[in-house]
Structure 1
Amino acid sequence: MTPSRAPKNRAATRVVLATRLFAPEVSAGAFRLRALTRSLLGRAASVRVLTTTPPSTAPQGREEQPGLEISRFPVLRDSGGNVRGYVQYLSYDIPLFFRLLVSRYDLAVAEAPPTTGIVVAAISALRRRPYAYYAADVWTDGVAAIGAPRFVVAAIRWLEGVTMRHASTVLSISDEVTERIASFGVDPERIATVGNGIDTEVFNPDGEVGGDGTRYFVYTGTMSEWQGAEVFIRALELVRERVPDVRLRFFGQGSAEAQLRALATQTAPEAITFGGVVPPEQSAEWIRGAVGALVSIAPGLGYDFARPTKTYAAAACGTPVVFAGSDASSGAALVREHGLGVHAAFTPESVAEAMLELLGEHGTERAAQGRRARAAWIETNASLRAVGDAAADAVLRPLG
C-alpha cells in the first residue's frame, strides 16, 4: 500500500484533506486542521477539504482563501449534533470513498477516526499517491476506555495500525502520543511530533469578558466519559459551603452531557448552567472572566497521556487551570511544570481545595502576574499557527 510516485513541483502540489469536522464547527480537531490548511496554502499548495455539512448549532462563517475549496456532504449526526458513533462515521466514510475516487490530488491528509484513515489509505494506494494521518490521539485507547467489546477494540487496533504504518507521515500532538503510535510498529522516522496549540488570535488575555461580575468557574469543550467532569459538580457543593455565591458554567457538548445535567439538577441547579456550543470568540470571553478553567482526565481509563486542548485555551487567555487527574498524567505535568494552574487529585475534596485556592487569589496582583505569564508561555510555546506550520512542513516533506 505504500505509494511510490509523487510530483516534483512543490508549487503545483494539490492536497486533499479528508475530515468529518472542519470550520466553522467548534472542536480542537477543526481548529488544528484549519491551521494546517492555512499553512499549506502559505506554501503555495492548493487544498480541497472533503468534509460534512455543519449542524445548525455551528457558528456562522465561511473559510475563504485563494487556493482553498471546501466540499461539504450531508452526514448522520447523533442527538447532540456530533458525528460520533459507528453508523455516523460510516455515513461520512462511504461517500468519502467515491469523493476521493474523483478527486485529483498529489497528497492526501486524513483525520481520525481510523475508518476514515483506512478509506484514504486504500484510495491513495490505488492512485499511487502518498497520504498523511493526523493522530491527535489513539482511538484504540479510547474505545477500550469506554468498555467496548473486545472484538471492537481489536478491529479498531487493526484499522489504526494499518493506516499509520502505511502513511508517509503520521502527525502526533505530543511525545506521549508519539510513543503510543510507535507501539503500532510505525517507523519512527515517519512520525512527526508537531505539538498541540491554540489560536492565540482568538484566545488571548485581551478583549471582552463574560459574566455579570459574579465569580464563576468554566468548563469548555467536549464532555465525555473519559473526562469525568462530574467531579467538578460534586466539588462545587463543597466550595459553596464556604463561598455560597460561586457559580459553574459549562459550554460545549458530548456523550456525558445528559448525565452532567442530571447531576447538576440534583446538586446545585441554581449555580450550574449549560450554555451549549458557542463560537470560539464567545468561549474566550467566558474563559477570560472566570476565576479558573476546569479540565479533567479520569484516571485508569487509558487516557492519562492526553493533554486536553482546553488547557491551552485557558492558559492563552491567562486563566489558571484546575486540572483533575492522576499525578502521573501528562496533563498534570503540563500544568505543574509551566505554571498553568493547580493540579488536583481526581476527588471532589481535592478539586474543591484547588478551586478555593484560586478563589483566594482571584483579583490579586499575584493572580494578574500569573495571567500574564501563562499567556506569554502559550504564545511562545503553543501557538496554533506554529503547530500548523510544523504540520505542513512534515506532510509536504515526502514530496521532496
Structure 2
Amino acid sequence: MAGIVLTAAACNSGSVAPSSPGLVNAAVRGSRPAKIEHIVIVVQEARSFDDLFCGYSGADGKCEKEAIPLEANCTLSDTFQDFEHERKTGNFGKEHADCPGYRHPEYAHVPETELKQYYEIAQQYVLGDEMFSSTGNPTFEAHQYLIAAEAANAENQPFGTTPSNGCVYHQWVHQFNGGKIDACFGYKTLADELDAAGLTWSYYRTADSKHPVVNTWDAYGWIHGGSSGTSPSSAFLQDVRSGKLASVTWVTPAFADSDLSGSLSCTGPEWVASVVNAVGESQFWNTTAVVVLWSGFGGWYDHVPPQMVDYEGLGFRIPVLVVSPYARTGYVDHVHLETGSVLRFVEDTFGLAPLAASDSRARSLGTSALDLRRQPKSFVPIQGGSGCGSRGASR
C-alpha cells in the first residue's frame, strides 16, 4: 500500500529544525527547558468511549448486553457511503445501522478480549473518560480539528459559495466518489505555527481509497500533493528506531488498523501498541508524550450526552490515552476535555498561540494526566497479544 509522510520540509523548505526543542521551549516561555520535547498524536477512527471502554474499572462507562467484535461488517449512521443519496432525497441524518446478525448494533460494545493492548496501556498510563470530539460532524472534519482546531463549515463557508455546498461538504463527498481533493481551506494550522517557531512536524498516513479521510492536508493549498517521501504509516516505527522524531507528529493508521467499523479487521490495538513500543524503546522516551484518541464516535452509543458549546459541537464522547514517562500510573482522568485539548497541550508545551475557538476554550490534557515533577519512569513494553488474529498492515 502506498503512503505519505508529510514533514515541515513539504511546505517550508527553509525551515531548520532546532538542535534542541527544549531550548526553543525555554526561549519562548522564559523558563528552563521542558521535559516534553516531542508529542506524538495517534489518531484511530470512529469509536465511542462506551464502545471500547464501557467495562473499564474506575471509568464512567455503561455496557449494554450485546458485544460486537472489531472486525464485524457493520455500517452505522455516522459513516459516509450513502451520504450523497441521502442529501438529495432529504434523508441526511436518518438513523440506520447495517450489521448482519445484530438487532441493535449501535448499542453494542467491543469485547474486552479484543482490546487487550488498549486496556494494558490504560493500566500503565492514563485513560480519559471525559474527552469529547470538538465537532459532531464526520471524520474528515474531525481530522481538521486535530490540525487546525476548526474546519470550514456551514458557518464560515456557507452553502452556495465556491465550491458549492460548502468546503467540508465538497471534500467529504468528493473523496468517496474517488475524486481529487480540492484545496479550499486557507486558515492557519498547527503546522504553520510550528514552522514559524522553528519546530519540526511530521504527518504519517497510508494512502488508501477505502479511507481517504486521512488526506487531511490536501485541503490546504500550500501543501496540496506535497510530500517529502512515500511510505506506509508503519514508516513511523522505522524512523523512530533510526533516531528520527519531530517535535510534533501525527500518526494515522492503514485502513485495516483504523478500528473503523467495516474495515473487517481487528488489528487496531496491535498497531497502536507497536507505535507506543517504538517510542518507549527509543532514545526519545524520556522526552515524549504519546496521545492516542479516536476521531469521533462512529455512530456507536455513548451514555454521556455532550454539551452544546457552538454550531459544531461538542460531539459525542471518545476515548483518549496519554502515554509518557511522566504520566500517572493506572489513572482515570475525569477532567472535561475535547479534541481541542490535544492542540492546547501542544501549544502550551511549545509556547504557541491558540488557533481557534476549540483550543482556546479547551483545557490542556496534560494538566492532570502528567506529573512533570516526577522522575521519568522506565518503559515496560505493551504485550497484550492478539485477541483475534493478525490481518492488519505489516509492521
TM-score (norm 1): 0.27
Structure (1 or 2) with the greater strand fraction = 1
Greater C-alpha Rg: 1
Structure (1 or 2) with the greater helix fraction = 1
